């Protein structure tokens, strides 16, 4: 068996490099430096959490290649080797996330986190009063991604979004010093919608990674199969299903939109930027006639800027 080189949780250079190719919401570039610093710390934490799982998947791919080589050389031993390697990879994924959770614990216990990304996040926690739960929820979402690849109902998917998306909005509110129960509830609605929009954009990519976020109950209701999702272009059943899911995400965005009107200054600009990003993403899916299989629908910058102005001025 090929030996696995254990990845490090202190890969700040790689995380930073990956982040350079991502699109921050346009509003964030216009914020005061102190807010950008904290939002960047949050972004790197979220990216690190995701990248640890992705890195483990890369090791899994290498393991599968090694298994194939060994199966050809020693067919009789291929099965036992494959089983052991799959278990090793599963353990690796969870161990990496456990180490990250330990670093979160060090922040709140007065210790020093091992990861540079987490040391930066510790400054944000201290200066903005961020509680531990949102950080731990984001880690738990990535643990769930390692073992759950399908969701039966929209309610189950919503519970996943409570871990994978809503904590980001909650932390953003703490960064701006405007977190209240009422605002958190509105933010949760926006963040769930943003997560759903991303899932609907990335149906083909997710399927390639062995995951389907479209609830199976919804797929059955629209006569859509997994084979339909694997097609080169979306057929009528897929398009109708995506249209239904896009409308559902739009309603959630609209429910949370009044949050913008409760805010002022930099906080208002930042949240308007997130809201605009969600609206532009859903508009891009509609513009592509709900065919999310031929390519990932991406919003045009002009549309994104227009949505930002409207959200900021209208306060919703």
Q: How far apart are CA 101 and CA 96, in angstroms?
A: 9
Is the Cβ–Cβ distance between 262 and 183 less than 8 Å? yes
pLDDT score recorded for residue 118: 96
pLDDT score recorded for residue 50: 87
Is the Cβ–Cβ distance between 283 and 227 less than 8 Å? no
What per-residue string of b and e applies to 306-315 under the rule 16 or more CB within 10 Å gives b? ebbeebbeee
Half-sphere exposure in the Cβ direction for 46 (13 Å, CA): 19
Residues 6+ apart with CB under 8 A from 92: 4, 6, 56, 59
Half-sphere exposure in the Cβ direction for 245 (13 Å, CA): 34
Q: How far apart are CA 226 and CA 230, in angstroms?
A: 7
Using only C-alpha atoms, the chain has a radius of gyration, in whole angstroms, of 21
Half-sphere exposure in the Cβ direction for 56 (13 Å, CA): 23
Kindly report, residue by residue over 105-149, the tens digit of the pLDDT. Answer: 999 999 999 999 999 999 999 999 999 999 999 999 999 998 899
Angle at 23 between CA 180 and CA 212, to 5 degrees: 80
**Alpha-helical regions (H) of the chain:** 12-19, 33-73, 78-109, 116-128, 132-147, 154-164, 166-175, 181-201, 203-208, 216-221, 226-229, 236-256, 265-287, 301-314
Is the Cβ–Cβ distance between 212 and 226 less than 8 Å? yes
Kindly report, residue by residue over 45-56, the tens digit of the pLDDT. Answer: 999 998 886 654
Rounded (10°) angle between helices 166-175 and 265-287: 150
307 — phi, psi (to 5°)?
A: -65, -35
Could you state, in chain order, the average pLDDT of each consecutive group of 10 residues for the chain (316 residues)?
Answer: 40 46 56 93 93 57 49 49 56 88 96 95 98 98 93 98 98 98 98 98 96 98 98 98 98 98 96 96 98 95 94 97
Q: How far apart are CA 141 and CA 53, in angstroms?
A: 11
* Tokens 């640890």, residue located: 52
Is the Cβ–Cβ distance between 249 and 236 less than 8 Å? no
Q: How far apart are CA 101 and CA 94, in angstroms?
A: 10
Q: What is the DSSP string of 37-65?
A: HHHHHHHHHHHHHHHHHHHHHHHHHHHHH
């Amino acid at each position: 068996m090929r030996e696995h080189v254990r990845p490090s949780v202190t890969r700040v250079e790689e995380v930073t490099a990956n982040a350079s190719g991502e699109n921050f919401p346009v509003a964030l570039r216009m914020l005061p430096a102190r807010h950008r610093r904290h939002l960047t710390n949050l972004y790197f934490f979220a990216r690190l959490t995701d990248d640890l799982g992705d890195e483990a998947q890369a090791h899994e791919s290498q393991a599968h290649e090694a298994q194939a080589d060994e199966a050809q050389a020693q067919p009789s031993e291929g099965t036992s080797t494959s089983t052991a390697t799959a278990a090793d990879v599963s353990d690796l994924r969870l161990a990496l996330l456990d180490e990250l959770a330990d670093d979160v614990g060090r922040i709140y216990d007065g210790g020093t986190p091992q990861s540079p990304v987490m040391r930066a996040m510790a400054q944000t926690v201290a200066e903005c009063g961020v509680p531990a739960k949102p950080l731990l929820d984001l880690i738990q979402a990535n643990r769930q991604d390692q073992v759950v690849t399908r969701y039966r109902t929209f309610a189950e998917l919503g519970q996943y979004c409570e871990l994978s998306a809503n904590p980001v909005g909650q932390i953003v509110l703490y960064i701006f010093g405007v977190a209240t129960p009422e605002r958190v509830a509105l933010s949760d609605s926006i963040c769930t919608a943003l997560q759903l929009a991303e899932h609907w954009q990335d149906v083909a990519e997710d399927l390639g990674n062995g995951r389907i976020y479209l609830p199976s109950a919804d797929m059955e209701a629209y006569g859509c199969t997994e084979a339909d999702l694997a097609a080169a272009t979306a057929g009528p059943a897929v398009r109708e299903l995506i249209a239904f899911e896009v409308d559902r995400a739009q309603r959630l965005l609209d429910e949370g939109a009044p949050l913008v009107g409760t805010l002022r200054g930099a906080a208002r600009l930042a949240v308007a930027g997130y809201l605009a990003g969600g609206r532009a993403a859903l508009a891009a899916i509609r513009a592509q006639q709900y065919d999310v299989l031929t390519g990932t629908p991406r919003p045009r910058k002009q549309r994104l800027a227009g949505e930002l102005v409207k959200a900021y001025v209208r306060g919703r």
